[in-house]
Chains A and B, each alone.
Chain A
Amino acid sequence: MKLETFSYLPPMNEALLRSQIQNMIDKGYAPAIEYCDTVNTYNSYWSMWGLPMFEVRDAAAVVYELKACQKANENSYIKINGFDPVTQAQAISFVVYIPNKG
């Protein structure tokens, strides 16, 4: 199943993921982690992992939370959203973890 733009690209490694997240933070977006175990076209409701990270300035913190989320929800898809506080909307979204695929 294809979810968002990045799913058409080869999988990211951690360094790439970090630079994507850093780019998001540098643009002023607040990164948020969401997870979901039943992913299908009809289910657009994902659970949030904690609050969006409004005050974070470095991607390391997001990766840290991401790993914590992964550990707690091994069978869930995990995605990262970038929330734009100006337009009050989600500006970026991509799946970073697919269970049993890495």
Chain B
Amino acid sequence: MDSTLLQNDETNQPPAQVMIDLPQSNRDRQIHRILEDFDKGMIGLQAVKTRIREIAAFLLIDRMREQVGLNAERPVLHMCFTGRPGTGKTTVAMKMASILYELGYIRRNHVVVVTRDDLVGQYVGHTAPKTKEVLKKAMGGVLFIDEAYYLYRRENERDYGQEAIEVLLQVMENQRDDLVVIMAGYKDRMDEFFSSNPGVRSRIAHHIDFPDYNLDELMQISDLMLKQQMYYLDTASIEPYQKLVASQMEHEHFSNARTIRNLLDLLKLRHANRLFNANKPVTKDDLARLDLPDIPDETLIETGSDN
């Protein structure tokens, strides 16, 4: 335990009089660093950020309460992240794992990402050992179940998914100290999943919904991604690019930040091709600058950006 948390060393004092200095604690500073990093590193998602901040604060305070002997029961930490593809569910899960790790709620800062295929077996008697195997691998850390609603198939009663859910529930309940489960998926389908498996819902403490990004946020994301990859859009091409993003947003399979990443990849491809075909000496600036001709026609990528 962090001894710097307790400013007053006299343990025989009643808890109410022990002074705990919040900003003085190392662990607290570490949490602040992660949260700040999270606030800056991710664009938009204001509601999600607030929720994560609340959870982090709650856990930190809970740790302190434990130290002064107020409450020893471990809070339920299983979570559910809902939202459309590319809204940052997996990324936030990784951040959440770091926060839980810093606070000592998990022993290892690792996230095991699985889908239905990793949990459900092919034949009778295959599912339970397979699910247990995955759970054992994730123990001590976070298990992230992507598209968790696929575990349950209403149309087939004898589907092995039900068995996986049962094993999962058992471990979620009995090994609460060893494993944090985060489920993710589309909001409506997760709701349907929970309504047919009320046991799962009641074991999940935090339900967080990830909203879609708006155009402005998508532009900021593009900017951030380009900066990270050391590219930049020249001023003339920003507007056509924005138009392109706007047209993509109406697309049925639009998947937020992931579409943006694919779009930028396409831009980079065209950029490379243009330089290659020009067959002229290039400067450093040429290699970093994305020009107007690199912006593809929206009709061109109608199928191309689909993942």
Contacts and interface: CB of A to CB of B under 8 A. Distances in A.
Interface of A: 53, 55-61, 64-65
B178 A60 contact: yes
Contacts of A58: 107-108, 139-141, 178
A57 B175 contact: no
Contacts of B108: 57-58
Interface string B137-156: 10111000000000000000
A56 B133 CA distance: 9
Interface centre among A53, A55, A56, A60 (most CB of B within 10 A): A60
B136 interface: yes
A8 B256 CA distance: 62
A61 B139 CA distance: 6
A60 B171 CA distance: 11
B131 to A, nearest CB: 13
Contacts, number: 38
A65 B175 CA distance: 12
Interface string B163-188: 00000000000010111000000000
Lowest 6 A-B CB distances belong to which pairs? A58-B140, A61-B136, A60-B178, A61-B139, A60-B139, A58-B139
B190 to A, nearest CB: 27
Nearest to A53: B136
B110 interface: yes
Contacts of B110: 57
A64 B174 CA distance: 10
Contacts of A64: 136, 139, 175, 178
A99 to B, nearest CB: 24
Contacts of B135: 61
Contacts of B177: 60
Given A58-B140, A58-B141, A58-B178, 4 more contacts: A56-B136, A57-B108, A60-B107, A64-B175
Interface centre among B136, B137, B179 (most CB of A within 10 A): B136
Nearest to A56: B136
Contacts of B141: 57-58
Contacts of A65: 136
A12 to B, nearest CB: 19
Nearest to A67: B174
A60 B175 contact: yes
A2 B108 CA distance: 35
Nearest to A68: B132
B49 to A, nearest CB: 29
A59 B179 CA distance: 12
A100 B246 CA distance: 71
Contacts of B133: 55
B139 A55 contact: no
20 contacts: A56-B137, A56-B139, A57-B108, A57-B137, A57-B141, A58-B139, A58-B140, A58-B141, A58-B178, A60-B107, A60-B139, A60-B140, A60-B175, A60-B178, A60-B179, A61-B137, A61-B178, A64-B136, A64-B175, A64-B178
Interface string B118-141: 000000000000000101110111
Nearest to A54: B137
A32 B89 CA distance: 35
Contacts of B136: 53, 55-56, 61, 64-65
Interface string B195-206: 000000000000
A60 B178 CA distance: 6
A27 B248 CA distance: 50
